[in-house]
Amino acid sequence: MSDDALPRIYLARHGETEWAITGQHTGLTDIPLTDRGRRNAQSLGKRLDGLKFDAVLTSPLIRARQTCDLAGFGGLAQPDPDLVEWAYGDYEGLRTVDIRKERPDWRSFRDGFPGGESIEEISARADRVVADLRAIDGNVLVFSHGHFLRFLAARWLNLPPIEARLFVLTTASLSILGYEHNRTEPAIRLWNDDRHTQE
């Protein structure tokens, strides 16, 4: 089987929000896209134009749903609660620079978030999504969030959860998970491509 015949998982991070601009941790706080976020979601739709998907999945949070809708896939999308962002607990709405005033050595992917979802819990969610995606015999489009998609990539590759720290994502970016040679060799085919968002 050629690489091109193997299924691909297209990952779309939601567009810009006000908290993305300020650098605040946005977990389950349900805030909408900015005007620029809406424009970039539309540009993402143009980037995906002409591609066919056997399934479209979205986080139920508004910033992901708006991105999905504006990209032109709202009528096809199924909400999946496992695709929501990391629950940041006591650090919801805080910036990393503010957290490190109290905890100078704090690292999110190593230390997690007090009062929030543990690294083990978000990794287990990512594992469930990986299993669901691998059960679909075809291409899938997923709309979700920066930190969760980073865990998804790490677990797709069978890496330890802490290695999610290596997969940086910008808003409205497109990435593709897939395989090399066969389904026993998971791979990243594209990562954090945001050329369509340049203004």
Residue 154, token pair as written in the block: 């790490």
* Residues with catalytic roles: 14, 85
DSSP run (H or E) holding 59: none
**Collapsed DSSP state (helix, strand, coil) of residue 101:** helix
Whether residue 186 contacts residue 156, with contact meaning beta carbons closer than 8 Å, is answered with yes
Burial bucket for residue 176 (CB in 10 Å: 0-12, 13-18, 19+): middle
Sign of CA dihedral 144, 146, 45, 7: negative
